[in-house]
Amino acid sequence: MTLKEQITEDMKTAMRAKDSERLGTIRLLLAACKQREVDERIVLDDAAVVGLVDKLIKQRKDSVAAYLQAQRQDLADKESAEITVLEGYLPQRMGADEITQAVRAIVTELGATGPGDMGKVMGVVKTRLAGKAEMGLVSAAVKAALAG
């Protein structure tokens, strides 16, 4: 079963359980998937769906920060609940040590030697670690590897 099929099944389960918060979040995710498929005239695979989930989570985290700054705890709580539902569709994430090891291996493989090679390294790292690691941590690991 693909990730998209799993999300659709979860939507049906949420409907049956009358879980309106979870249902709304899942529908939002499916709508984002459909929009991307229509816009780009493609069928999303699991990796693309994970990337989309990552993007939606990042948007929600930004919203939570804005709502907390505006002292709107009610809206921040709603966004946090959506983050929890969306995180259920992400694969197991790599730890900081695993990210550092993977980045060092890629830097060695490419023969990158300094900050000027950051773009080249990030291009390869993004394709290999997409969905497996948080890109903020990956970027920091690449900077550290190229600086040392």
86: amino acid identity, one letter: L
Specify the fold of 3-87: Hypothetical Protein Yqey; Chain: A; domain1 (1.10.1510)
Q: Work out the mean pLDDT of the chain and round it to a whole number.
A: 89
The pTM assigned to this predicted structure is: 0.75
Angle at 111 between CA 124 and CA 119, to 5 degrees: 40
Domain ranges of the chain: 3-87, 96-147
How would residue 10 be classed by pLDDT, with cut points 50, 70 and 90? very high
C-alpha to C-alpha distance for 137 and 145, rounded to whole angstroms: 12
Predicted confidence at residue 145, as pLDDT, reads 82
**Separation CA 144–CA 101 (nearest Å):** 12
pLDDT given for residue 142 in this prediction = 85
Q: Does the pLDDT value for residue 77 go beyond 90? A: yes
* Record: fold of 96-147: Arc Repressor Mutant, subunit A (1.10.10)
Q: What is the pLDDT of residues 104-135, one digit of tens each?
A: 888 888 877 777 778 888 888 888 877 778 77
Flag the least confident range among 32-46, 63-77, 80-94, 126-140: 126-140
User: Given this model, what pLDDT does residue 148 score?
Assistant: 65
Query: What distance in Å separates the CA atoms of residue 11 and residue 23, rounded to the nearest whole number?
Result: 6
